């Protein structure tokens, strides 16, 4: 049985993954390319007498690569062994997708084009004439719908046919003047045995492709080809009146793509549902207010609906604490679990509904296709602050988790735009900060304004991030941001299965974090706050407890004893050591310890406060205790500090991995903490 190795290539969001899923009975293998953490998928199946091995490569817009994912795909196409390319094209945006097709056809590999999502074209009264496409280009094409599983077998029949076609030849070519220059360079290159066609190498050299240039530079033929190449590039610039040869080739591909589309496409004639919705959602006047309304609704639901199960969760953990205390014998272990771990974990788990509602809302905006529109709407505003519309995606992702948000910034091609975006991502309050906000806002603000205050915190953090970006652009990153170009996907109904699975995964991760990392942190905080024990003082308190004549007196003495132990603990000593730095912003040593612990993970702030402000009164919740021990001004100061200062260690590690320069790492580590302290200082002294 013969094996055909196929590279599945296409621009992002053209349905390659759906095509993989549509192959019934396929055996799916997921792994990483050697040396990088970019995931690929491989499927193996049989068609007649052939064994098909298909590699699903990360999406790329063209062979002019920018992101690590695009680099991986280009490297595979240039250096790896495979027999055939299936180029997946979005049937709704053929002209833009053909930019990549025109580059791939020069690779010297046989190729088949899949016009995917063809069902959507048909519904709108359009058609794509694949036979005409083959006549023009020499490349076989099939209209497919991976979503509806239409023509999948026909696609692989065409692939096998192309594999066996001895006369296969891509007919596409550039302007005659370009082809003549490329032919002259190719004749020189043919003297050397390259793994790629000489014509392809010549074209890529004329486009100043760095990877191909390095390939040729390391060979003796470079001395012979260098001067003719430079002269050819100069002639092309003069003949086409272009300052940059890359622009010349880009214009040629656009013109070719338009010509092909004109020949093969019967365009849909009626306005689509997407067009009608876009007339409202990306309206020059209504677009921004609607976006703010959607975001406000998400935050309002996060607070209002999320608060419903909080009391039940709090009561459940209180009951668990009582039950465990009754089972375990009195001693170190019992106290550690009942007074330290369970209350702290319960204080964090209590906010799980809020976090899930926030993630649910953001996921719906992403799955429906609205998030790309929001980026378009925000582009004009972001440019005023030195960013571009594409920065919007990582910035909004930051409301969920800063770690993937840093990774999402890879899509920004300009290094300055990318670095500015990453430096201000920390101002987008991640889901881990939400429990701290809910605790403090719930304690210090009336119920009818709590949702508005929460929305204000998130918008305030985002606005501060934009102002910081503007300052960075005017000082350290002078220049204009890149023009905004982004795909506008069709609107689609969100998948309830995908939404449910995503929430389930996040729930498991959150509970795992609460049951492991946060539980361990709570134990450490409890231990440091409970030891060393002054046995003489504790004995005196215990005598007072025995002599107490009522439960109220007994509870009062116990509270006094716990306060005494806490004030003389290791943690108190540590807190007092750092208190002078944070005292000017209203922090006592307990708040100082909680804030510092938040550098490990923001949820730990809540668990730390739960341990430090532990109360024996079952009817008194943590919010009431916080309000009784912290002033309003100090609470606002703490909200500002949590909103601005450094993100968690996982996020900081991701930044360090993405940005190798130590100067920027150092700047990133210091400046948000200094800014947080200054703004907290100002707000505290205004409010006291």
574-594: pLDDT as tens digits: 888 988 999 999 998 889 988
DSSP string, 139-155: -EEEE-BTTTTBSHHHH
pLDDT, tens digit, for every residue of 35-76? 443 566 788 888 888 988 888 888 888 888 877 778 888 889
* pLDDT for residue 35: 42
117-175 pLDDT, tens digit per residue, is 898 888 888 899 999 999 988 999 999 998 888 898 899 899 999 999 988 888 888 88
Q: Which residues contact 181 (CB under 8 A, 6 or more apart)?
A: 206, 232, 235, 236
Say whether both 136 and 73 belong to one domain. Answer: yes
- State pLDDT tens for residues 621-657: 788 888 988 999 999 999 999 999 998 888 888 888 8
Same domain (yes/no): 459, 527: yes
> For residue 485, what pLDDT is reported?
57
In this predicted model, what pLDDT tens digit does every residue of 232-268 receive, in sequence order? 889 888 888 877 888 888 888 888 888 898 889 887 6
Say what the pLDDT of residue 470 is.
93
- Of 512, 514, 510, 513, nearest in space to 346 by CA: 514
In a domain, 26, yes or no: yes
- pLDDT above 90: percentage of residues in the chain: 21
Shared domain check, 191 and 147: no
Q: Is the pLDDT confidence value at 688 over 90?
A: no
Cα–Cα distance between 291 and 310 in angstroms, integer? Answer: 29
Of 164, 187, 203, which residue constitutes the final position of a domain? Answer: 164
- pLDDT at residue number 38: 55
Average pLDDT, the chain: 84
Q: Do residues 590 and 522 both lie within one domain? A: yes
Q: Do 152 and 184 belong to one domain?
A: no
Q: Is residue 548 part of a domain?
A: no
33: pLDDT strictly greater than 50: no
Give me the pLDDT at residue 487, please: 60
Burial zone of 208 (CB within 10 Å; 0-12 exposed, 13-18 middle, 19+ buried): middle
What's the burial of 224, exposed, middle or buried (CB within 10 Å: 0-12/13-18/19+)?
A: middle
Q: What percent of the chain has pLDDT over 70?
A: 94
Q: Which of 288-292, 552-556, 655-659 has the lowest mean pLDDT?
A: 552-556
Q: Is residue 542 part of a domain?
A: no
Same domain for 126 and 194, yes or no, is: no
Residue 377 shares a structural domain with residue 429: yes
Confirm whether 552 is domain-assigned. no
Q: How far apart are CA 199 and CA 175, in angstroms?
A: 14
Between 423 and 335, whose confidence is greater? 423
Q: H-type helices in 105-244, by residue range?
A: 118-123, 130-137, 152-164, 176-189, 198-206, 210-217, 221-240
Q: What is the pLDDT of residue 31?
A: 44
Average pLDDT score over residue span 677-687: 95
Strand partners, 4: 52
The number of domains in the chain is 3
Q: Is 169 inside any structural domain?
A: no
Stretch 514-534: mean pLDDT? 80
Give the domain CATH number at 207. 1.10.287
450-466 residue pLDDT tens: 888 988 999 999 999 99
Residue 30, pLDDT score = 43
| Residue at a domain's end among 137, 164, 191 | 164
- pLDDT at position 86 is 94
Give the whole-angstrom CA distance, residue 348 versus residue 357. Answer: 15
Proportion of the chain in helix, strand, coil states, percent, rounded to 5: 65, 10, 25
- Looking at the structure, tell me whether residues 25 and 126 fall in a common domain: yes
Of the ranges 216-220, 436-440, 468-472, which one carries the lowest mean pLDDT score?
A: 216-220
- Residue at 638 is within a domain: yes
Q: Is residue 563 part of a domain?
A: no
Looking at the fold, whether 515 and 417 belong to one and the same domain comes out as: yes
**pLDDT for res 681:** 96
- In this prediction, residue 483 carries a pLDDT of 62
Is the same domain home to 31 and 134?
A: yes
Read off the pLDDT of each residue in 539-568 and give the average, rounded to a whole number: 78
Whether pLDDT at 490 is above 60: yes
Nearest to 532 by CA among 561, 559, 568: 568
Identify the pLDDT of residue 85.
Answer: 94
Q: Are 50 and 156 in contact (CB under 8 A)?
A: no
615: pLDDT confidence band, cut at 50, 70 and 90? low
Confidence check: pLDDT of 200 > 80: yes
Is residue 272 scored above 50 in pLDDT? yes
CATH number at residue 141: 3.40.50.300
Alpha helices in 430-446 (DSSP H): 434-444
C-alpha distance from residue 299 to each of 142, 479, 511 (Å): 45, 35, 22
Q: Are residues 153 and 181 in the same domain?
A: no
Q: Which domain holds residue 183?
A: 176-255
Instruction: Examine the fold and report which residue of 164, 197, 228 is the final residue of a domain before the chain moves on.
Output: 164
Residues 150 and 31 occupy one common structural domain: yes
pLDDT at res. 464: 95
Residue 111 phi/psi, 5-degree rounding, is -145, 150
Judge whether 557 lies within some domain: no
Provide the pLDDT for residue 34: 43
For the stretch 655-671, pLDDT in tens is: 888 888 999 999 999 99
SS3 assignment for 510-562: HHHHHHHHHHHHHHHHHHHHHCCCCHHHHHHHHHHHHHCCCHHHHHHHHHHHH
């Amino acid at each position: 049985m013969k094996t055909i190795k196929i590279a599945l290539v296409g621009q992002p969001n053209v349905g390659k993954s759906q095509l993989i899923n549509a192959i019934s009975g396929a055996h799916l293998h997921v792994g990483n390319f050697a040396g990088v953490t970019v995931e690929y998928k491989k499927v193996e199946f049989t068609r007649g007498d052939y064994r098909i091995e298909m590699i699903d490569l990360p999406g790329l817009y063209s062979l002019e690569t920018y992101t690590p994912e695009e680099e991986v795909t280009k490297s595979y196409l240039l250096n790896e062994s495979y027999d055939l390319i299936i180029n997946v094209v979005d049937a709704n945006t053929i002209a833009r997708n053909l930019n990549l097709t025109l580059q791939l056809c020069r690779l010297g590999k046989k190729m088949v084009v899949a016009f995917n999502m063809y069902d959507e074209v048909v519904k709108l009264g359009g058609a794509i004439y694949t036979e005409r496409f083959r006549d023009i280009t020499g490349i076989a094409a099939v209209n497919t719908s991976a979503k509806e599983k239409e023509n999948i077998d026909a696609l692989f029949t065409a692939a096998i046919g192309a594999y066996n076609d001895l006369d296969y030849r891509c007919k596409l070519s550039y302007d005659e003047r370009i082809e003549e220059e490329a032919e002259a360079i190719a004749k020189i290159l043919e003297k050397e045995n390259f793994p790629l066609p000489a014509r392809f190498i010549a074209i890529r050299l004329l486009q100043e492709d760095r990877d191909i240039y390095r390939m040729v530079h390391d060979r003796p033929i470079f001395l012979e080809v260098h001067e003719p190449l430079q002269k050819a590039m100069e002639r092309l610039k003069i003949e086409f009146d272009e300052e940059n040869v890359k622009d010349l080739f880009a214009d040629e591909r656009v013109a070719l793509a338009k010509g092909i589309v004109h020949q093969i496409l019967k365009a849909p004639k009626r306005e689509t549902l997407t067009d009608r919705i876009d007339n409202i959602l990306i309206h020059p006047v209504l677009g921004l207010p609607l976006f703010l309304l959607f975001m406000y609704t998400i935050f309002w639901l996060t607070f209002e609906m999320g608060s419903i199960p909080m009391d039940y969760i709090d009561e459940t953990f209180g009951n668990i604490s009582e039950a465990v205390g009754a089972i375990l014998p009195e001693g170190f272990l019992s106290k550690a679990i009942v007074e330290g771990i369970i209350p702290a974990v319960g204080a964090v788990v209590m906010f799980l509904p809020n976090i899930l509602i926030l993630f649910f809302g953001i996921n719906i905006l992403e799955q429906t296709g609205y998030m790309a529109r929001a980026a378009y709407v925000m582009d004009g505003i972001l440019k005023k602050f030195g960013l571009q519309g594409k920065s919007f995606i990582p910035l909004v992702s930051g409301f969920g988790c800063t770690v993937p948000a840093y990774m999402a910034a890879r899509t920004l091609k300009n290094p300055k735009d990318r670095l500015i975006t990453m430096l201000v991502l920390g101002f987008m309050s991640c889901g881990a900060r939400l429990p701290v906000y809910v605790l403090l806002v719930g304690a210090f603000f009336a119920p009818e304004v709590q949702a508005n205050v929460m929305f204000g915190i998130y918008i305030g953090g985002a606005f501060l991030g934009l102002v910081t970006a503007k300052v960075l652009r005017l000082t350290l990153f002078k220049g204009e941001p890149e023009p905004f170009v982004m795909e506008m996907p069709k609107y689609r109904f969100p998948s309830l299965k995908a939404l449910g699975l995503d929430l389930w995964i996040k729930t498991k991760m959150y509970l795992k974090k609460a049951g492991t990392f946060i539980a361990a942190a709570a134990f450490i905080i409890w231990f440091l706050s409970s030891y060393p024990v002054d046995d003489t003082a504790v004995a005196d308190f215990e005598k007072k407890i025995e002599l107490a004549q009522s439960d109220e007196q007994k509870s009062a003495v116990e509270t006094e004893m716990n306060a005494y132990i806490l004030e003389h603990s290791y943690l108190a000593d540590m807190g007092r050591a750092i208190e002078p730095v944070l005292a000017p912003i209203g922090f006592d040593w307990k708040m100082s310890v909680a804030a510092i612990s938040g550098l490990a993970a923001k949820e730990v702030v809540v668990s730390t406060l739960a341990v430090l402000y532990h109360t024996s009164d079952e009817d008194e919740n943590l919010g009431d205790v916080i309000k009784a021990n912290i002033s309003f001004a100090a609470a606002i100061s703490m909200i500002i500090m949590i909103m601005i200062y450094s993100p968690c260690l996982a996020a900081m590690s991701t930044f360090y991995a993405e940005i190798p320069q130590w100067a920027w790492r150092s700047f990133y580590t210091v400046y948000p903490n200094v800014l947080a302290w200054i703004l907290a200082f100002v707000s505290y002294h205004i409010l006291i």
